[in-house]
Amino acid sequence: MLAVAAALVSCQEWQPVFTGTYPSPQDYEKVTLEPTMTLGELAAMYQHGSPITFDYEQDIIVGGKISSSDETGNFYKSFYIQDETGGMEIKMGKTSLYADYKEGQMIYVKLPGLTVGEYGFKVLKNYDDGPSGGSGMVQIGYVYEYLPGTEPEYETSYLDAQVLINEHIIRGEIGEKVEPVVLEEQDLPSRTATLADCPAIGKLVTIKGLTYGNEIFTLAYVNSNDNHKNSSNRIFLSDQTYGVTTWAMSKNKFIENLDKGLFDAVNIGNAGDYNYGTVADPENKESIRTTATAATVSQYFKKGNTDVIIRTSGYAKFADAEIPKAVLEGKATVDVTGVMTLYQGDIQIVVNRLSDIVVNE
């Protein structure tokens, strides 16, 4: 089970972001452009493992309203836009985007010079305990540069230079915030879904009546400064709750739980290679404590028989907020509103703020 869990974790990790209050942005020219294709049509051009970089002879524009905000720190260096055909992530490479890119604002993306790729795809396989793998999310970013003879880690990179942002990301009018689509279990995407058969992917959605699944997923490290890919450095918390009762764990909360011994029995390792002792080993524990960072947590819920993960950054303002006891005990359900994404076929909801999770007592 741990080997399967290792394949499911999302490794594009959050980092600390400024979550204070910025002054109102300066006036800008509110542009109106005519998209040449929909987000659904753009997604349909992409094939797994084959990112597309558009040349400057291809005059392609897509557009959509912003549905996400990084104001609370639960989105990182990106925002989502959506049109009637689906939603897509724009990898911006800057933090505190909410100061200039508002929920409900129309955004146009000029694609020549940019790359469309996918994050989070894994070939679907069936195991004794169920299927693993599936679709990820098609996203818009910059060309991912890597050394010849090496394998690229990602298919896109961030637009981290302001000159690139000014050239490709065009701000339009700020309108009403996006109205979430309410989904029932039969509306949820399959593990191999795309925008072609589930246009709710990447959109702001509401899923009501979720019950707690008594399971989390978290990836931590023996030494967060060392190679995160090494088996000897990886700590997977999966298949149970480990006593974690918060939506995520800030650095201080992670250390507090570590010192309580909640993770002591966890074997260090990955994908069948668990030959590095346990968290409780004094040398390991001291290294974990000394180099600890905030921990993103996937909290598992159920909509009927379907897993729905509420995934929260350890750097979010509400990371250490307690999940109500009634929810943890199965005596209350939650309604969640957030951007619905897929990672290796798993349904993940990322909320903009804690108030997007409503408890039904």
Name the more confident of 27 and 166: 166
Q: What is the mean pLDDT of the chain?
A: 93
Closest CA to 65 of 116, 24, 102: 102
At residue 21, the pLDDT reads: 53
When pLDDT is cut at 50, 70 and 90, the band that residue 27 belongs to is low
When pLDDT is cut at 50, 70 and 90, the band that residue 148 belongs to is confident
Residue 114's contacts (CB-CB under 8 Å, 6 or more residues apart) are 53, 54, 140, 141, 142, 143, 159, 168
Instruction: Report the C-alpha gap between 62 and 109 in whole angstroms.
Output: 5
| Tens-place pLDDT, residues 28-57 | 788 999 999 999 999 999 999 999 999 998
Quote the pTM value. 0.91
pLDDT score of 4 more than 50:
no
Q: Could you tell me whether strands 130-134 and 333-343 are parallel, antiparallel, or unpaired per DSSP bridges?
A: unpaired
| Tens-place pLDDT, residues 312-353 | 999 999 999 999 999 999 999 999 999 999 999 999 999 999
Cα 294 vs. chain centroid, distance in angstroms? 15
Helix, strand, coil distribution of the chain in percent, nearest 5: 15, 35, 50
At residue 145, the pLDDT reads: 86
The label of the residue with tokens 């005990």 reads: 329
When pLDDT is cut at 50, 70 and 90, the band that residue 18 belongs to is very low
On the 0-12 / 13-18 / 19+ scale of CB atoms within 10 A, 132 is buried
Helix (H, G, I), strand (E, B) or coil at 247: coil
Name the more confident of 159 and 151: 159
At residue 271, the pLDDT reads: 84
At residue 6, the pLDDT reads: 44
3-class DSSP string for 36-73: CCCHHHHHHHCECCECEECCCCCCCEEEEEECCCCCCC
Question: What is the average pLDDT across 262-267?
Answer: 98
Contact 102, 66 (CB under 8 A): yes
Residue 211's contacts (CB-CB under 8 Å, 6 or more residues apart) are 301, 302, 330, 333
| Tens-place pLDDT, residues 56-104 | 989 999 999 999 999 999 999 999 999 999 999 999 999 999 999 999 9
Cα 174 vs. chain centroid, distance in angstroms? 25
Q: Computed from CA positions of residues 238, 132, 50, 340, in that sequence, does the dihedral angle turn out positive or negative?
A: negative
pLDDT score of 3 more than 80:
no
Lowest mean pLDDT among 137-151, 192-206, 292-306: 137-151
DSSP summary character for residue 150: S
* For the chain, domain boundaries: 8-178, 204-360
